């Protein structure tokens, strides 16, 4: 039996967590459970997100083999298990009888598959879960969500935006660019068109700060690079783009806006290949789909999930919207397909106004939970992190940490790897986000997923991006924010090396 207590920082100091108080009830429950303790892992986390996807006690099977895909509508045999994980959220486990919770969770796991829940989807890698369709819906129907909550989404973010207003940091970067452009110009190697791009534009304050600072410094510099500059603003949400555009309206046609998928930047920005002198990305990567992989006793696993609602939550939501729990799955998927406006139009009996459909969306999102299981991989190389990158890239990180579970940051890696080719040989990528700086961080803390308003947040596997950049000939650094060195948001910078 293996016990893994991850939030080690909380075990010391003036008010340490009482681990014995957590583990004693667990052992009490296990003493009478029909569980092979030799194959059991107890994992204690501290889930800092008040809104998250987990119960205080979760039981996760470790499968012996990859299960066969079930035929549509067919019954699937319960896959053989080679182990079991009991996951405890130490922040919430003191509420109520923990031993009874563990016993119930074990009994539930041993019983009929999915019993006690309304399942919204089959088992699948987390990056394919419907939770990301909820996330997409949030950005597409952001104005509706904001109307319902009465606050703008930036108020829910962890404060990374203030860096966007740092004229000092922008000035340093711009002065460096002016120096590079002078050198290239002297060799007749400076392109006629100079591109700077921003992916994920927020409220436009980064663009405004950058362009205002650039205009002033370029004027003082006296080479009129401003004439050649094009500032491209790209975002997934047309609503966000429209709002950001207003912030830089005084820069006129120097600025272009593009709706784009951050995970596939070259789909929209292929014309920039090798031309961008600066690409700026802020608070985007932590909101992109990710899988988790794990190494358990030296074997690699992919974490599969399925979104569900607890029966009690499902019954409450169904009652309120005049439907039955069994019909909720179809109704949720209809919401995700149509959005709240069209859902209200399509089902006026249940949703007389759009605000009712938004309320249904918010309640379902709030109640959404994830069940998880570990599925063995035939080899890391057999797992595709992105269409162009195999799991082989994970090997140095996974193999160096013993038993570990980590984010793959698939969306962030796809975005990062897709952005690097856009850079001019003397260009740079600068990114502010929730970056982990070492794979060991996964051994000592919980880093998502959590819920921020209607969106999903996961800390980004920084070491993976560093490694991927390195393998593409880039020097990648992750450093604390200049203005808030103690904060969680960090700066990643990538430039060509060698």
Stretch that binds another protein, among 138-146, 186-194, 227-235, 264-272 (CB under 8 A): 186-194
| Residue 180 near another protein by CB under 8 A | no
Question: Binding of another protein at residue 187 (CB under 8 A)?
Answer: yes
CB of 449 to another protein, least distance (A): 29
239 counts as binding another protein under rule CB under 8 A: no
Contact pick of 175, 246, 320, 470 for another protein (by CB under 8 A): 470
Our CB check for another protein shows the closer of 346 and 382 to be 382
Q: Out of 228, 310, 395, 484, which residue is the one contacting another protein (CB under 8 A)?
A: 395
CB of 383 to another protein, least distance (A): 13
Q: What's the min distance (Å) between Cβ of 180 and another protein? A: 13
Least CB distance to another protein at residue 295 (A): 17
Count how many residues are written for the chain. 498
Binding residues for another protein, rule CB under 8 A, total: 18
Interacting residues with another protein between 199 and 238 (CB under 8 A): none
> Contact with another protein (CB under 8 A): which of 66, 472, 484, 488?
472
Shorter beta-carbon distance to another protein: residue 241 or 272: 272
Nearer to another protein, 50 or 188 (CB): 188
Cβ pair 52, 448 in contact under 8 A: no
Distance in Å, CB of 438 to another protein, minimum: 14
For residue 392, state whether it binds another protein (rule: CB under 8 A): yes
Smallest distance from the beta carbon of 392 to another protein, in angstroms?
A: 6
Q: For the segment 31-50, give every residue that binds another protein (CB under 8 A).
A: none
Shortest distance, position 401 Cβ to another protein, whole Å: 15
Structure token pair of residue 459: 């800390």
How many C-beta atoms surround the C-beta of residue 108 within 10 A?
15
**Interaction between residue 382 and another protein (CB under 8 A):** no
Binds another protein (CB under 8 A): choice among 24, 110, 189, 482: 189
Q: Report the C-alpha dihedral over residues 365, 369, 375, 380, rounded to 10 degrees.
A: 50
For the bound state, the minimum distance from the C-beta of residue 184 to another protein, rounded and expressed in Å, comes to 9
Q: Interface with another protein includes 471 (CB under 8 A)? A: yes
Choose the stretch contacting another protein; rule: CB under 8 A; options: 159-167, 185-193, 440-448, 479-487. Answer: 185-193
* Stretch touching another protein by CB under 8 A, among 301-309, 315-323, 339-347, 417-425: 417-425
Q: Taking CB under 8 A as the rule, does residue 401 contact another protein?
A: no
The residue within the footprint of another protein, chosen from 381, 430, 443, 444 (CB under 8 A), is 381
Measured from the CB atom, the residue of 111 and 473 that comes closer to another protein is: 473
**How far apart are the C-alpha atoms of 91 and 141, rounded to whole Å?**
33
Residues 283 and 432 sit within 8 Å (Cβ to Cβ): yes
In the complex with another protein, the residue whose CB is nearer, 48 or 390, is 390
Q: Print the SS3 string covering the chain.
A: CEEEECCHHHHCCCCCCCHHHHHHHHHHHHHCCCCCHHHEEEEEECCCCCCECCCCEEEEEEECCCCCCCCCCCCCCCCCEEEEEEEEECCCCCCCCHHHHHHHHHHHHHCCCCCCEEECCCCEEHHHCCHHHHHHHHHHCHHHHHHHHCCCHHHHCCCHHHHHHCHHHHHHHHHHHHHHHHHHHHCCCCCCCEEEEEECCCCCHHHHHHHHHHHHHHHHHCCCHHHHEEEEEEECCHHHHHHHHHHCHHHHHHEEEEECCCCCHHHHHHHHCCCEEEEEEECCHHHCCCCEEEEECCEEEEEEEEEEEEHHHHHHHHHHCCCCHHHHHHHHHHHHHHHHHHHHHHCCCCCCCHHHHHHHHHHHHHHCEEEEEEEECCCHHHCEEECCEEHHHHHHHHHCCCCEEEECCHHHHHHHHHHHHHEEEEEEEEEEEEECCCHHHHHCCCCCCEEECCEEECCECHHHHHHHHHHCCEEEEEEECCCCCCCCEEEEEEEECC
Site string for another protein, 423-462 (x = CB under 8 A): -xx-------------------------------------
C-alpha–C-alpha distance, residues 85 and 490, integer Å: 32
Q: Which of 38, 71, 188, 253 binds another protein (CB under 8 A)?
A: 188
Work out whether 352 is an interface residue with another protein (CB under 8 A): no
Q: Is residue 390 involved in binding another protein (CB under 8 A)?
A: yes
Distance CA 78, CA 67 (A): 9
Window 255-294: contact mask with another protein (x via CB under 8 A): -------------------x--------------------
Minimum distance of another protein from residue 279's CB (angstroms): 15
The residues of the shown chain that bind another protein, judged by CB under 8 A, are: 187-189, 274, 381, 390, 392, 395-396, 421, 424-425, 470-473, 496, 498
């Amino acid at each position: 039996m293996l016990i893994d207590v991850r939030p080690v920082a909380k075990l010391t100091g003036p008010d340490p967590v009482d681990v014995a108080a957590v583990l004693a009830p667990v052992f009490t429950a296990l003493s009478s459970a029909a569980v092979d303790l030799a194959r059991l892992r107890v994992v204690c986390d501290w889930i800092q997100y008040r809104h998250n996807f987990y119960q205080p006690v979760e039981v996760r099977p470790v499968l012996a083999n990859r299960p066969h895909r079930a035929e549509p509508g067919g019954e699937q045999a319960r896959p053989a298990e080679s182990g079991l994980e009991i996951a405890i959220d130490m922040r919430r486990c003191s509420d109520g009888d923990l031993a009874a919770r563990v016993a119930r969770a074990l009994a539930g796991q041993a019983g009929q598959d999915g019993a006690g829940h309304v399942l919204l989807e089959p088992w699948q890698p987390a990056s394919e879960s419907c939770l990301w369709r909820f996330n997409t819906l949030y950005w597409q129907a952001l104005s509706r969500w904001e109307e319902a909550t009465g606050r703008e989404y930036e108020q829910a973010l962890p404060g990374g935006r203030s860096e966007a207003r740092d004229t000092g940091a922008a000035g340093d970067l711009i002065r460096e660019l002016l120096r590079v452009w002078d050198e290239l110009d002297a060799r007749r190697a400076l392109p006629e068109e100079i591109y700077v791009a921003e992916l994920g534009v927020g409220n436009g304050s980064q663009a405004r700060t950058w362009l205002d600072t650039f205009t002033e410094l370029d004027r003082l510099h006296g080479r009129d690079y401003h004439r050649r500059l094009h500032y491209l603003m790209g975002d997934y949400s047309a609503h966000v783009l429209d709002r950001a555009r207003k912030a830089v309206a005084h820069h006129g046609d120097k600025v272009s806006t593009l709706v784009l998928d951050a995970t596939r930047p070259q789909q929209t920005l292929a014309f920039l290949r090798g031309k961008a002198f600066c690409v700026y990305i802020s608070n985007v990567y932590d909101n992109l789909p990710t899988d988790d992989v794990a190494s358990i006793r030296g074997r690699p696993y992919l974490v599969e999930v399925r979104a569900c609602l607890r029966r009690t939550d499902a019954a409450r939501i169904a009652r309120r919207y005049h439907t039955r729990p069994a019909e909720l799955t179809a109704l949720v998927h209809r919401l995700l397909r149509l959005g709240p406006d069209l859902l209200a139009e399509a089902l006026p009996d249940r949703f007389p106004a759009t605000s009712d459909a938004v309320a249904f969306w918010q309640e379902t999102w709030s109640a959404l939970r994830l069940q998880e299981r570990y599925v063995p991989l035939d080899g890391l190389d057999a797992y595709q992190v992105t269409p162009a990158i195999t799991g082989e890239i994970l090997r140095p990180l996974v193999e160096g940490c013993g038993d570990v579970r980590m984010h793959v940051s698939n969306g962030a890696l796809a975005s990062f790897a897709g952005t690097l080719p856009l850079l001019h040989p003397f260009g740079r990528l600068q990114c502010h986000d929730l970056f982990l700086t070492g794979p060991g961080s996964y051994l000592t803390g919980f880093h998502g997923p959590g819920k921020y308003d209607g969106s999903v947040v996961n800390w980004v596997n920084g070491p993976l991006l560093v490694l991927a950049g390195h393998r593409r000939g880039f020097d990648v650094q992750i450093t604390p924010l200049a203005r808030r060195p103690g904060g969680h948001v960090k700066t990643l910078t990538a430039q060509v090396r060698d």
